[in-house]
């Protein structure tokens, strides 16, 4: 069964700092990764997706993907208190089945 491992489990960064989150899949058939953000009491909302090797940037958010190691990372620069949330990584394997990691809980302190 495919597994998606996220690290760290939790992270505290100062306002204005950089947050770096990691995600690795155990399934060699994975071809697509997503990052979702879930604020407390809310449903997950898609932040970014990536399927090509390299880097993708959208505003303060940058995603990296290394397909050889099935590793993706999310970097948030100039972190804001509103970025405090649970960040979920999802990987798509066969049969369009998405598997989610357990998440990284980010807290940005002023």
Partner 1 sequence: EAAVTQSPRNKVTVTGGNVTLSCRQTNSHNYMYWYRQDTGHGLRLIHYSYGAGNLQIGDVPDGYKATRTTQEDFFLLLELASPSQTSLYFCASSDPGTGGHSDYTFGSGTRLLVI
Beta carbon of residue 19, minimum distance to partner 1 (angstroms, whole number):
18
Distance from C-alpha of 2 to C-alpha of 27, rounded to nearest angstrom: 5
One of 51, 55, 57, 80 touching partner 1 (CB under 8 A): 51
Q: How far is the CB of 2 from partner 1 (least distance, A)?
A: 9
Closer CB to partner 1, 73 or 93, in the complex: 93
Q: Which of 13, 26, 60, 102 binds partner 1 (CB under 8 A)?
A: 102
Q: What is the maximum alpha-carbon separation in the chain? A: 43
Q: Does 97 bind partner 1 (CB under 8 A)?
A: yes
Q: What are the structure tokens assigned to 90, written together?
A: 């999802």
CB 5 to partner 1: min, Å: 10
* 32 binds partner 1, rule: CB under 8 A: yes
Q: How far is the CB of 15 from partner 1 (least distance, A)?
A: 26
């Amino acid at each position: 069964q495919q597994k998606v491992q996220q690290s760290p489990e939790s992270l505290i960064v100062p306002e204005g700092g950089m947050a770096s989150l990691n995600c690795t899949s155990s399934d060699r058939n994975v071809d697509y990764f997503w990052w979702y953000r879930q604020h407390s009491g809310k449903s997950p909302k898609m932040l970014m997706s990536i399927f090509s090797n390299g880097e993708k940037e959208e505003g303060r958010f940058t995603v990296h993907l290394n397909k050889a190691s099935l590793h993706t990372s999310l970097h948030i620069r100039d972190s804001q208190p509103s970025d405090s949330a649970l960040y979920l990584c999802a990987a798509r394997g066969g049969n369009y089945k998405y598997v989610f990691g357990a998440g990284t809980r980010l807290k940005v302190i002023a």
